[in-house]
């Protein structure tokens, strides 16, 4: 285990850092993620911090419908996140392409063809409570499994 991973494990016991990437949305799901930060849902009360620095992230939220313009870029972003890590697809777009999945578009769902997706939160858009629940449900499980595997 590297020093970075050791440090990360230490701080992870108290917090989950979340980065998010929008690969082509209508911004509806972005607004729901931002609503998680507002006082009504107050995501930070659970020790979840949302920012856009993949090098400090534990969880990547993927929003929007994937198109070939993201070829290599999303995978590169995923590679920048140190292990252990987990990605969650937020909304119908990264799952099925939603309303953008039409014959005349270049939308190429699902996003799980490009990076491993641990959980999906369907909806157009999903509620902030569903986003919160997915992060709280998936992140600790994955980190726990990782710790077991590393022993």
Both tokens of 14, joined, read: 């108290």
Q: Least distance (Å) from ligand SF4 to the CB of residue 66? A: 11
Q: Least distance (Å) from ligand SF4 to the CB of residue 26? A: 4
Both tokens of 42, joined, read: 């107050």
Task: Give the footprint of ligand SF4 on this chain (CB under 6 A).
Answer: 25-26, 28-29, 63-64, 91-93, 98-99, 124-125
Q: Least distance (Å) from ligand SF4 to the CB of residue 24? A: 8
CA dihedral for 113, 114, 120, 123, sign (positive or negative): negative
| 84 or 117: CB nearest ligand SF4 | 117
| 84 or 126: CB nearest ligand SF4 | 126
Q: Least distance (Å) from ligand SF4 to the CB of residue 63? A: 6
Both tokens of 102, joined, read: 């039409």
Torsion (CA) 112, 118, 123, 126 in degrees, nearest 10: -130
| 29 or 115: CB nearest ligand SF4 | 29
Residue 63 in contact with residue 131, Cβ under 8 Å? Answer: no
């Amino acid at each position: 285990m590297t020093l970075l991973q050791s440090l990360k494990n230490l701080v992870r016991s108290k917090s989950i850092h979340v980065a998010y990437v929008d690969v082509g949305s209508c911004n509806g799901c972005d607004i729901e993620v931002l609503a998680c930060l507002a006082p009504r849902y107050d995501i930070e009360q659970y020790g979840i911090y949302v920012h856009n620095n993949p090098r400090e992230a534990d969880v990547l939220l993927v929003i929007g419908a994937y198109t070939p313009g993201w070829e290599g870029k999303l995978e590169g972003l995923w590679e920048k996140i140190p292990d252990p890590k987990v990605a969650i697809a937020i909304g119908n777009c990264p799952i099925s392409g939603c309303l953008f999945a039409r014959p005349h578009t270049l939308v190429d769902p699902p996003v799980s063809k490009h990076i491993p997706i641990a959980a999906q939160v369907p909806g157009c858009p999903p509620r902030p409570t569903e986003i919160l629940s997915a992060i709280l449900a998936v992140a600790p499980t994955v980190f726990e499994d990782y710790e077991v595997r590393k022993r």
